[in-house]
């Protein structure tokens, strides 16, 4: 079942209640860069990775020794690149033509954070589920020598998906009353992004690099 607006509002309400209870450890903003790869055995012409950017907010809760919880609200640019080879009437190579399709998501990760040691620079690990809502899609276009052809593959992607994040990073000591964290995450899809197309299994996997600034 696709989560609706009431589900999102309920999550925000719960987090607000926890904050009033004094469980908020710290919060901040995040900016990032990512590379998304589409995993689909049935289709081989859009396996090229596509780069994008991201931004968001995070909150860290319930500091319990080496454990804490992270809730995040992210805007991320995903997508994929299709490639075809253009030839002339004799079959001779002319050029490689690429169509870059874009998929933008609002995503909600809920992560367990493990910080085993506390030093001047503190390493940590994160893991947990994420919930993706597709908010924008743009079909890529093949720019051949004589014609332009629009790919329609992006239209088959579901509006909602569930994934899993596994990653780690380092947090610096306080600099001018704030802290910086550098984080590398591996995003793996759990659900099939092509659930409307019953004969295909498509998953979007990504590597994200985030800079987090505690406020």
In angstroms, the first-to-last Cα distance of the chain is 36
Place 12 in a pLDDT band, splitting at 50, 70 and 90.
low
The full length of the chain comes to: 215
Q: How far apart are CA 62 and CA 157, in angstroms?
A: 36
Q: What tens digit of pLDDT does each residue of 73-89 get?
A: 999 999 999 888 899 88
User: What per-residue confidence (pLDDT) applies to 208?
Assistant: 98
Q: Which residue has the higher pLDDT, 175 or 20?
A: 175
Place 2 in a pLDDT band, splitting at 50, 70 and 90.
very low
Which of 3.40.50.920, 2.70.98.60, 2.40.160.20, 3.40.50.1820 would CATH assign to domain 26-214? 2.40.160.20
Range from 4-8, 65-69, 108-112 that averages highest in pLDDT: 108-112
**Token pair of 194 as six digits:** 């092509």
CB 142 within 8 Å of CB 84: yes
**Token pair of 174 as six digits:** 């306080």
**Token pair of 49 as six digits:** 């990775």
Q: What tens digit of pLDDT does each residue of 100-112 get?
A: 999 999 999 999 9
Q: How far apart are CA 117 and CA 101, in angstroms?
A: 42
Total-model pTM: 0.85
Q: Where are the domains of the chain?
A: 26-214
Mean pLDDT, range 186-214, rounded to an integer = 90
User: What per-residue confidence (pLDDT) applies to 121?
Assistant: 87
**Distances from the Cα of 6 to the Cα of 1, 70, 91, 115, 135, angstroms:** 13, 21, 56, 33, 17
């Amino acid at each position: 079942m696709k989560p609706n607006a009431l589900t999102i509002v309920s999550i925000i309400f719960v987090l607000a209640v926890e904050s009033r209870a004094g469980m908020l450890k710290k919060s901040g903003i995040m900016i990032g860069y990512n590379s998304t790869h589409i995993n689909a055995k049935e289709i081989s012409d859009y396996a090229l990775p596509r780069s994008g950017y991201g931004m968001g907010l995070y909150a860290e809760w319930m500091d319990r020794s080496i454990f804490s919880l992270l809730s995040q609200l992210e805007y991320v640019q995903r997508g994929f690149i299709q490639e075809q080879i253009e030839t002339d009437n004799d079959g001779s190579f002319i050029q490689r033509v690429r169509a870059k399709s874009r998929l933008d998501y609002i995503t909600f990760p809920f992560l367990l954070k493990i910080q085993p040691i506390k030093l001047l620079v503190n390493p940590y690990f994160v893991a947990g589920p994420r919930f993706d809502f597709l908010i924008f899609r743009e079909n890529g276009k093949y720019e051949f020598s004589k014609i332009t052809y629009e790919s329609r593959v992006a239209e088959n992607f579901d509006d909602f998906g569930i994934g899993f994040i596994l990653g780690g990073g380092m947090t610096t000591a306080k600099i001018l009353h704030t802290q910086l964290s550098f984080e590398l995450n591996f995003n793996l899809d759990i659900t099939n992004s092509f659930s409307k197309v019953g004969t295909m299994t498509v998953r979007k996997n990504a590597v994200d690099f985030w800079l987090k600034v505690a406020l």
